[in-house]
Amino acid sequence: MLKLVRKCSWVMLSESEGFTPLPGEQRLYTSPPRTTLSLQSLNKYPGKQPYTVQSSAGSVFLTNRRIVYLPQTSTPTLQSFAAPILHLHDSHVAAPFFGPNVWTAIVQPVPGGNIPPEHAALELKMTFKDGGAFDFHTSFERIKERLQQAVDVARESGQLVGDGTETRGGAGGGTLSGLNLDLVNLDELPAYEDATRAAGISTDATTSPPAQQPLVNLDDTPSSTMPSTSRGQRDSRDEVFTPPEEPPPGYESVQNQSVGEELERRMRSPST
């Protein structure tokens, strides 16, 4: 899946377009020219030769089947880089407090793609110095989702064998050879719109309000024949309650009686 160009590569360079697309390949995104690339080993065990490739400036292209990176200045170790979309995993954007945004993914190398076979996975980082990381990530995730759905449908119908990963160095003709990429819908899904509004139907016209129920008189007396005294009693209930300034008649005697009964009960009870 991963392809680095040294002396030759399936990324065919073009002076006018940057690179020559594969059959059925559509170019969907191009980054600003100051995008950096870093590719290195995930696990750096002692005694194991690490793998590192870097470019300080270049452009990344997103197509309907792969990403292609072309450095501004090619070197003997890096003339171009390409990776099929379905070989990129765990992609995300990191937005530091200082510095440009960084897009990171785990790369599953393609057999025969000029990556040492002992490296089963590599870490890919691309720094978007002039912006565009989130636009790239959004487009990448949408294309990957649509492409994976097309692969699953083709595999279930028997038209495709495997999980869609590339073989033969990712130069085309691998497991995706049985998939017609022209039939994969890469457009964004339309925004949700209420069907009733789209049809010009008003919800108020189709839904009638519930009929109002007659008021219930809890006094079993029609409101029109209710005596004025009853209405006056209802109004008095809404007035603010004011406590009396003096205790009610007989309050002290009742209180004294209660206290005496309590003392008598305690005296009768056996002491402990």
Distance of CA 48 to the CA centre of its chain: 38
Q: How many CB atoms lie within 10 A of CB 74?
A: 15
Evaluate if residue 90 carries a pLDDT over 80.
yes
Average pLDDT for 166-190: 56
Which pLDDT score is estimated for 1? 44
Q: Whole-structure pTM over 0.75, yes or no?
A: no
Query: Looking up tokens 């049809």, which residue turns up?
Result: 199
Q: What structural domains and CATH numbers belong to the chain?
A: 3-183 (2.30.29.30)
Q: Which residue stretches of 199-247 are H helix?
A: 203-206, 228-237
Mind listing the pLDDT tens digit for each residue in 209-239?
555 555 545 454 454 445 554 555 555 555 5
Query: Looking up tokens 């076979």, which residue turns up?
Result: 117
- Please report which helix (H) or strand (E) contains residue 91, including its range: strand 88-94
Mind listing the pLDDT tens digit for each residue in 104-163?
999 998 887 888 878 888 999 999 999 999 999 999 999 999 988 888 888 887 776 655
Residue 233: how many CA atoms within 13 Å on its side-chain side?
6
CB 105 within 8 A of CB 133: no
In the three-class reduction of DSSP (H, G, I as helix; E, B as strand; rest coil), residue 136 is classed as helix
Average pLDDT for 177-183: 61
